[in-house]
Amino acid sequence: MLRILLISAFICTATLFSFSQSNDFLTEEELEDAFVYTDLDDALKNTAEVYILDLSSQGLTKLPKEVSRFRNVQIVILTDNQLTEIPAELTKLKKLQVLRIDSNNIETLYFDTSDPRNFQSLESIYVGFNPIKTIPENIKNIDLGLVSLSGCKYLDINKIFTSLAAIKSLDYLDLSYLNLDTIPWEVANLYGLRTLDLSANPSMDWDTSMRFLSQNKSIEELILHNNRFSTITEEFSRFENLHSLDLSYNDKLSIKQVFEVTKNCKQLNTIDLSFCQLRELPKSIGDQKKLFELYLSHNRLSRIPGEIGLLEQLELVDLSFNELTELPEQFGDLQSLEYLLLGNNPLEFLPRNMSNLNDIKYVELPKDSLDKQVKKSLKDIFSKAEIVFIKGEEDN
């Protein structure tokens, strides 16, 4: 799925899994427009209309019993409170799908599943930055797709995988900010796992960890930002089904070495190299012929090599927040391109042959630097695309 900012970041995070399409639930699109209630008294005046309830940062030590009245709520946010356990009132919320209860004082991730109707719709839980030590085995009774344990530094990481492996529906696991030395070999037994977040674990033995992980044939996405990488291990090429690799926020990264390794990844079609302080792209970018999406925003790129035109399958390229004054003529060769993000660059002109991009649907361009004549001709160049002008950082 394209991660272009066509929907809000909040909903993107909250709906990593498909919401029920029945009439009883709001769809993902409907949730985008739903009002977010942050005041309990206001919410209690419209209980039937509450689909998103945000009670974060309100100093709660207990969840008010009145919360059980919100029978239609699908997303509950209790981040940054003083809760010590998963509130019993949540068992009354039969449509609850996303629970954010990170940054509280919870030591045991216990969900009351004594009644099979409890948490029957729950898909995603965010419990990061809690002093959690254990995960009871009864968590397997909930069909969770996403579990975020980011920053839970008291976890016995080797013991929790017995419980996690029992969740047959687990699709996305967040183990970021845990100061891991290695990834436990048991991760290879999480057979349905498709996305694994290991961000901010800079001391990890990556050779050993990737050797273990590559045995898991279901993994499709690895998120590895903030790991102080200068190079990446050759073990990445062992992943048979790796589609997406996020290396953002690694500002010492050798991009040439990354491309040397990733060109051997058979299924890789998305690379995120945003916020990596990149000053240039090597010509070997042309070897990444399987790429569908390329994220290079918030770097220091002043030019793009013409070899980018060899990426015949590229559908999205994000070059926003760089130092580009021009683009190579070979951009017109990107016949599959649908989304082009160029905002916040001192760009004045566009290659003449960009009118060849017949499939392009969405373009972001800098508002202030672009030549006036170029602006006048944009409707001819991008006749089928939505064109958005970005004035500055505050508009992004």
Task: Indicate the pLDDT class of residue 19, thresholds 50, 70 and 90.
Answer: very low
Work out the end-to-end distance of the chain between its first and last CA atoms, rounded to an integer number of angstroms: 21
Which residues are bridge partners to 388 per DSSP? 364
The CATH number of the domain covering residues in 9-174: 3.80.10.10
Average pLDDT of span 16-27: 61
Helix (H) / strand (E) element for 389: namely strand 386-390
pLDDT score of 16 = 44
Average pLDDT of span 96-124: 96
Three-state SS for 390? strand
Which pLDDT tens digit goes with each residue over 301-332?
999 999 999 999 999 999 999 999 999 999 99
Average pLDDT of span 98-118: 96
Task: Indicate the pLDDT class of residue 3, thresholds 50, 70 and 90.
Answer: very low
Question: Is the pLDDT confidence value at 10 over 70?
Answer: no
Phi then psi for residue 188, to 5 deg, are -65, -20
Give the list of residues 6+ apart from residue 283 with CB closer than 8 angstroms, or none: 305, 307
Which pLDDT tens digit goes with each residue over 329-381?
999 999 999 999 999 999 999 998 898 898 999 999 998 899 989 998 998 89
Radius of gyration of the chain (CA): 23
pLDDT score of 9 = 36
pLDDT score of 185 = 82
Q: Which two tokens stand for residue 391?
A: 């004035």
C-alpha distances (whole Å) from 283 to each of 260, 306, 311, 345 are 11, 8, 12, 21
pLDDT score of 394 = 44
Task: Indicate the pLDDT class of residue 14, thresholds 50, 70 and 90.
Answer: very low
pLDDT score of 393 = 59
What superfamily in CATH does domain 294-302+311-396 come from? Answer: Ribonuclease Inhibitor (3.80.10.10)
What letter does residue 14 receive in the DSSP assignment?
H
Percent of the chain at pLDDT above 90?
81
Sign of the alpha-carbon torsion through 154, 160, 164, 166:
negative
Please state the domain extents for the chain: 9-174, 294-302+311-396
The mean of the pLDDT values for the chain is 91
What is the distance between the alpha carbons of residues 263 and 279, in angstroms, rounded to a whole number? Answer: 21
Sign of the alpha-carbon torsion through 170, 172, 175, 181:
positive
pLDDT score of 84 = 97
Which pLDDT tens digit goes with each residue over 136-194?
999 999 999 999 999 999 998 888 888 998 999 999 999 999 999 998 888 888 889 99
Task: Indicate the pLDDT class of residue 262, thresholds 50, 70 and 90.
Answer: very high
Which pLDDT tens digit goes with each residue over 283-308?
999 999 999 999 999 999 999 999 99
Query: With b meaning 16 or more CB within 10 Å and e meaning fewer, what string describes 76-113?
Result: bbbbbbebebbbebbbbbebbbbbbbbbbebeebebeb
What is the distance between the alpha carbons of residues 262 and 267, in angstroms, rounded to a whole number? Answer: 10
Average pLDDT of span 44-72: 96
Tokens 């905002």: give the residue. Answer: 343
Three-state SS for 85? coil
Q: Which of 309, 244, 290, 297 is nearest to 273 (CA)?
A: 297
Same topology between domain 9-174 and domain 294-302+311-396: yes
Is there a contact between 334 and 291 (Cβ–Cβ < 8 Å)? Answer: no
pLDDT score of 125 = 98
Is there a contact between 139 and 109 (Cβ–Cβ < 8 Å)? Answer: yes
